[in-house]
Structure 1
Amino acid sequence: MTKDRYVAIDIGGSFLKGVLIEINQGEGMSHIPQKVLNSTVVKFPSKLGNRFTINDFKTALTNLLDQLTQNDTISAIGISTAGLVDYAGKKIILVAPHLEQLKSESWLNFLRKKYSVPVALINDSDATAIGCAALGYLKGNQTIGIMPIGTGVGFTVWRNGRKWTPFNSLPLLGSCYTPDGNYDQIISASSLAKYDNEMNLVNIFSMKKYEELREQYIEKLSGVIQTANIIYHVNKILIGGGLADAITYSKFPLTKYLMDKLKQKNIEIEVLSEGNMLPLIGATLLGAGEKSIMNYKQTHNYSNKTTEQPFNKNISLNTLTSYELVKLFWELEQEAGDKLYSSLDILTTVINKVTNSLKDGGRLIYVGAGTSGRLATVDTVEIACTFGFPREKVLTLVAGGLADAAYDIETHFEEDASCIPELLLLNLSPKDVVVGISVSGSAFYVQSALGYAKKIGALSILIQETDNYKPDFCDQIIPLYSGSEIIAGSTRMKAGTATKKIINFLSTSVMIKLGNVYGCYMVNLECINEKLINRACSILHELFGIEKEKALSKLKNNNYNLKNTITYLEEHEN
């Protein structure tokens, strides 16, 4: 039987920790978390710091991998590490001074050359978050802070399925300064353990003689959590790392003590029993995910692409008057819309499949880079208020991150990066639908998302300009047929118009088929502003013939829920 063998490594300042798991042919990604939890963790001194060289660190990695692999072949390596990792997961760009060796790319190149497999890199907090998602801790339309605490404190924010990274950076909570030191120092679990003769953190939380020390530590930890709550508006904090392991083994009621200390009570706290295994789960899933899509990346000859050719290379746009420009744009935009007629049969098939998936509990997930991603984002944010559909059921992933999508997020080759880390945070399932949008079909961010979706059995759909070829990484193509642009390569124009139309047709049709429209009225809209309240009253007038004052009164009585108001009126006043 064919097997894939995945190695996960968690790099810490003191130790390297690693696991190896085997996945049999026919076993899916969903088996990985439990296999990691059941595996034996191998530890070696990391040999990082001022006393060591980069070669010492490479030797430590080699020793770890030799013991794990027993010189047998492996399929991929996933690495969880301290420090800031670049968006593509290829290198470390910022670390604490004592981990400076990690910034050298030589050790990563060494691993890639030695093992000839994908080597995927991710920050340890983000790896912990992926582990949390895989185990079902990250669900719903919430904002959750994931806080692994070991030598220092890591922190990442998960917001309704996506990593929340304003300025395209991790929230460096551990670097926050206080007169007693930064947060990394004052809530370090490793530093706390040093008060015990055996340096055993479990003793700190189980022995009576450390009661005062525990009290002081909990006071500091509650302050850090309170800061995270204020800055990032999190609904919940998930505590992992070595601290979580010690709390689990000692059965110390840390959550209760923290809640007693916190001034804000609008937050939940959970200590995760999986502790230090979470980043290893995340790293394993990342390595396996990257391995699953390595053959899907397609290179393109851009010079031959229709979208890169000018609509008419003999036109000198810079010589036209404003009216001539606008008239030309108008004509070509109309043409882009008309050509979509040829895609209606395909779109009909897709609409029916998406509707069935959402009825079965799945999600509609758009993936795009640049204009494509932003157009999809506009659609997803409108679905909830227009149709009352759950926000966690229609989502968009944008290359570079959603937090700064209204700004410039294409400065570091984001569309060429893999989407796997972000899909793992969504804990994608076979019930879901992934719609990738790449007019040229060349964005690897989209290719990787669709390839991974197809691998795990989710429906994968690509919106692109042409139907001249169907890539292996998707189940279905919706062609735009938008042709060449008036400004060569500027697909924000004709192709953008066609894309927005396709997205509108798709999502609106699905919402209608799911029962969110009655006649021609949005009967499940959210009454979240004066305009929408007035619209709801008008709908009640049209459906039941009642005047605005009565309609408004009935809405108020039903907490401004239009669907419930309609149900009430149908039952009591018809």
Structure 2
Amino acid sequence: MEQNLTSLTTESRNQQTLQIDTANTKDILKMMNDEDQKVALAVQDVLADVEVAVKFTYESFKRGGRLIYVGAGTSGRLGVLDAVECPPTFGTDFNMVQGLMAGGEKAFVKAVEGAEDRDELGEEDLKLIHLTANDTVIGIAASGRTPYVIGALKYAREIGAKTVALSCNENALISKEADHSIEVIVGPEVLTGSTRLKAATAHKMILNMISTSSMIQLGKAYENLMVDVSISNHKLKERAINIISKITSASYNQSKLTLESAQNEVKASIVMIKLDTTYAEATKLLNEADGYVRKAIELVKG
């Protein structure tokens, strides 16, 4: 942990924004927008590394394992944010994707001083959720040197879980503690060291890619539609009905009635309409097809 903070790319000064304190609003916004446009290109450069993370995650899911994000501060919040969106978007169990952050849940809205500086807390938090070798742990730290994340990655590797380090600096310390690393270099921030800006944006994009790609490969999409969406409110029910109608060309009313008779399961509703079959038969076909709608339909239509 002796790495000099000032030597990190994320802590260096951005030569394009040295006069930002005297700029007018329009110019401040332009500076920020110019820098933000560099983020997607930086992510593009590490797609091969992201692919490895998706492979780890998908394989964990197929084994009945979980995806666990670990981070502190903004990095931790990004992991929690991605995790909590998986159940409503993909109909997953709340334990399947989890976000752990230094200081616990209360740290999401108010910083817990010193929590990120204790590596043993990362290990303890993973023990509390009974981490196993079937899981994948992604440690997130823009600086690449957060002790909490290092402790978590070390413990995860010890018990055989797959590990990925996600940072915004080359040769990051956390990279040495993981099976694979993603070092997305977005360059100096608009405000020196404020990694809630470009670094956080890059990490949010990458976490989106990891969870979404893994879920798609699990059969939670048909074409580009979310067919495992959890129906927990009126808006989501309307979305589900529209998804069924788009895929099957059924009327709104038929889609609505079928959804209700299928216990609000979008996948089963699609198979029922496509094959003109019962809920029980649709469920049986989906089970045989490991949850893939397209494969379930092909079992009958060939």
Provide the TM-score with structure 2 as the length reference: 0.87
In 2, Cα distance between equivalents of 1:565 and 1:461: 37
Aligned pair partner of 1:362 in 65, 74, 85: 65
Deviation at 1:313, TM superposition (A): 7.3
Per the alignment, residue 291 of structure 2 pairs with none
Q: Identify unmatched segments of 5+ residues in structure 1.
A: 1-297
Aligned pair partner of 2:111 in 395, 409, 418: 409
Deviation at 1:564, TM superposition (A): 2.4
The 5 A counterparts of 1:443-462 are 443-462=146-165
Tell me the alpha carbon deviations over residues 35-93 of structure 1, each in whole angstroms, 9 at most, x when there is no partner: xxxxxxxxxxxxxxxxxxxxxxxxxxxxxxxxxxxxxxxxxxxxxxxxxxxxxxxxxxx
In 2, Cα distance between equivalents of 1:316 and 1:365: 41
Deviation at 1:553, TM superposition (A): 1.2
Percentage identity across aligned positions?
33
Residues matched between the structures, number: 275
Per the alignment, residue 560 of structure 1 pairs with 264
Tell me the alpha carbon deviations over residues 322-351 of structure 1, each in whole angstroms, 9 at most, x when there is no partner: 111111111101102211111011111221
Aligned pair partner of 1:529 in 233, 245, 251: 233
Using CA pairs below 8 Å that are at least 6 residues apart, which structure has the higher relative contact order?
A: 2
In 1, Cα distance between equivalents of 2:56 and 2:8: 30
In 2, Cα distance between equivalents of 1:372 and 1:559: 37
Q: Give the residue type in structure 1 aligned to 2:234.
A: E
Q: Equivalent residue of 1:380, what SS?
A: helix
Deviation at 1:479, TM superposition (A): 1.1
Q: Give the residue type in structure 1 aligned to 2:79.
A: A
In 1, Cα distance between equivalents of 2:176 and 2:201: 27
Tell me the alpha carbon deviations over residues 245-276 of structure 1, each in whole angstroms, 9 at most, x when there is no partner: xxxxxxxxxxxxxxxxxxxxxxxxxxxxxxxx
| Bigger shift: residues 375-384 or 464-473 | 464-473
Is the contact made by 1:399 and 1:409 (CA closer than 8 Å) also made in structure 2?
no
Is the contact made by 2:186 and 2:202 (CA closer than 8 Å) also made in structure 1?
yes
Q: Equivalent residue of 1:541, what SS?
A: helix
Deviation at 1:536, TM superposition (A): 0.8
Q: Give the residue type in structure 1 aligned to 2:88.
A: C
Deviation at 1:469, TM superposition (A): 5.0
Q: Give the residue type in structure 2 aligned to 1:530.
A: H
Q: Give the residue type in structure 2 aligned to 1:413.
A: G
Aligned-residue CA RMSD (Å)? 1.6
The 5 A counterparts of 1:333-482 are 333-402=36-105, 404-410=106-112, 412-417=113-118, 418-469=121-172, 471-482=175-186
In 2, Cα distance between equivalents of 1:516 and 1:478: 25
Tell me the alpha carbon deviations over residues 301-337 of structure 1, each in whole angstroms, 9 at most, x when there is no partner: 1011111112127722221111111111111011022
Per the alignment, residue 200 of structure 2 pairs with 496
Per the alignment, residue 251 of structure 2 pairs with 547
In 2, Cα distance between equivalents of 1:442 and 1:469: 7
Per the alignment, residue 327 of structure 1 pairs with 30
In 1, Cα distance between equivalents of 2:172 and 2:122: 22
Q: Equivalent residue of 1:419, what SS?
A: helix
In 2, Cα distance between equivalents of 1:469 and 1:558: 50
Q: Equivalent residue of 1:453, what SS?
A: helix
Q: Flag the 1:391–1:370 CA change in 2: closer, same or farther, 3 A.
A: same
The 5 A counterparts of 1:37-436 are 298-312=1-15, 315-402=18-105, 404-410=106-112, 412-417=113-118, 418-436=121-139
Is the contact made by 1:437 and 1:464 (CA closer than 8 Å) also made in structure 2?
yes
Q: Equivalent residue of 1:551, what SS?
A: helix
Deviation at 1:568, TM superposition (A): 2.6
1:516 paired to 2:220: yes
Q: Equivalent residue of 1:391, what SS?
A: coil
In 1, Cα distance between equivalents of 2:126 and 2:88: 25
Deviation at 1:353, TM superposition (A): 2.2
Q: Equivalent residue of 2:42, what SS?
A: helix
Is the contact made by 2:67 and 2:97 (CA closer than 8 Å) also made in structure 1?
yes
In 1, Cα distance between equivalents of 2:191 and 2:204: 19
Per the alignment, residue 506 of structure 1 pairs with 210
Per the alignment, residue 221 of structure 1 pairs with none
Deviation at 1:357, TM superposition (A): 1.5
User: Which structure shows the bigger proportion of residues in helix conformation?
Assistant: 2
Tell me the alpha carbon deviations over residues 394-448 of structure 1, each in whole angstroms, 9 at most, x when there is no partner: 001011111x2442123x2111122122111111111100000001111111000
Is the contact made by 2:17 and 2:31 (CA closer than 8 Å) also made in structure 1?
no
Q: Give the residue type in structure 2 aligned to 1:534.
A: E
Q: Flag the 1:539–1:435 CA change in 2: closer, same or farther, 3 A.
A: same
Deviation at 1:563, TM superposition (A): 2.1
Query: Which protein shows a greater Rg?
Result: 1
Q: Equivalent residue of 1:567, what SS?
A: helix
Is the contact made by 1:527 and 1:562 (CA closer than 8 Å) also made in structure 2?
no
| Bigger shift: residues 477-486 or 462-471 | 462-471
Q: Equivalent residue of 1:505, what SS?
A: helix
Deviation at 1:544, TM superposition (A): 1.0
In 2, Cα distance between equivalents of 1:313 and 1:515: 45
Per the alignment, residue 570 of structure 1 pairs with 274
Q: Equivalent residue of 2:165, what SS?
A: strand
In 1, Cα distance between equivalents of 2:267 and 2:32: 42
